Amino acid sequence: MSQQLVEMVRYATLAANGHNTQPWKFAVRQEGIEIHPDYSRHLPVVDSKNRELWISLGCALENLLLAARAAGYTPKVAYPDTDELIRVQLVAGTPQAGPLFDAIPLRQTTRSVYDDRPVPTADLHTLESLPLEPGVSVRFVMAPSEMETALDFVNAGNLHQHADRAFVDELICWLRFNRKEAMATQDGLYSRCSGNPTVPRWLGQMFVSSTKPQQQADADADKLRSSAGVVIIATDADDKATWVRAGQVYERLALQMTALDIKSALLNQPVEVAECRPQFQNALGLGTAAPQLLVRFGYAAALPTSLRRPVEEVLM
């Protein structure tokens, strides 16, 4: 197996993904690389339709394409319109690296409170001018009134989710409260990566289980209000291939933000809670476009990066 292709897979595994479940498998073929869903790592409560799982695969695809171009390939993608996988055909071309490829190892989901600074106009224009995928749109929201409207739905989503025992249990399952746990699995949400202290599992589990829904809503309200703005990623359709493309746009946006030293994090409760999603769509003026992701952005100190499993564990 070509070490160059294995290294491209490694870059793909550094992509953003829900709960750091890393829900992917990769197959290196003679003509290219395949990305397969790993349904053993899906989130049945928060992502019952595997929408965010396929968005995560789209994030991995975006990294893979950037790594392929940097290595001198011209990639061609076959989306999962009918098949349960993404095929990337690799044809020899000219190496094309750039700031987005360079940002892959540096990108992180920064879940802390930000410092309220606005994004300079030139950087905002760079973000707004980023190429999109067919059927995918983005809407930047920075006006205080619209930010508060978005926050209303984040609050509603938090109150719904954290009152659901099954949601809390699923979250705890993917939390890694100390270094020993994090190193044992090399996945999940390690407390240090969110700016939280490391504690024994029994203590962390007790703390999360006893957190009142309103406490979580208040904490996320502080995070959103400290942000320079939010961006909504929406799509014309709502199927696997479209979710993959939405993931590509999200990863592309996150990498461009990283290159500009802008931090970002998801606050996706308005989309994850089925009752909130259409109301959020209408309140933010998205028309017929289905919201897929809500991303806050701004400035903050970097946090430790999430762990990733070795490439050998994700190769088929």
What are 131-145's pLDDT values in tens digits? Answer: 999 999 999 999 999
Vertex 300, ends 281 and 106: CA angle to 5°?
Answer: 90
The predicted structure's pLDDT at residue 45: 98
Task: Render pLDDT for 106-162 as a digit per residue (tens, 0 to 9).
Answer: 999 999 999 999 999 999 999 999 999 999 999 999 999 999 999 999 999 999 999
Could you give the CA distance from residue 23 to residue 35 in angstroms, rounded to a whole number?
A: 10
Give residue 86's pLDDT band: very low, low, confident or very high (50, 70, 90). very high
Tell me which residue of 245, 314, 251, 312 sits closest to 41, measured CA to CA.
314
Sheet containing strand 86-92, edge to edge, reads: 24-28, 32-37, 86-92, 73-78
Taking every pair of C-alpha atoms in the chain, what is the biggest distance, in angstroms? 55
The pair of structure tokens assigned to 75 is: 């990639």
In contact, 109 and 305? CB cutoff 8 Å: no
**DSSP secondary structure letter of residue 81:** S
The pair of structure tokens assigned to 277 is: 């999603």
Write down all domains in the chain, each with its CATH number in brackets: 3-107+305-314 (3.40.109.10), 121-298 (3.40.109.10)
The pair of structure tokens assigned to 172 is: 């705890």
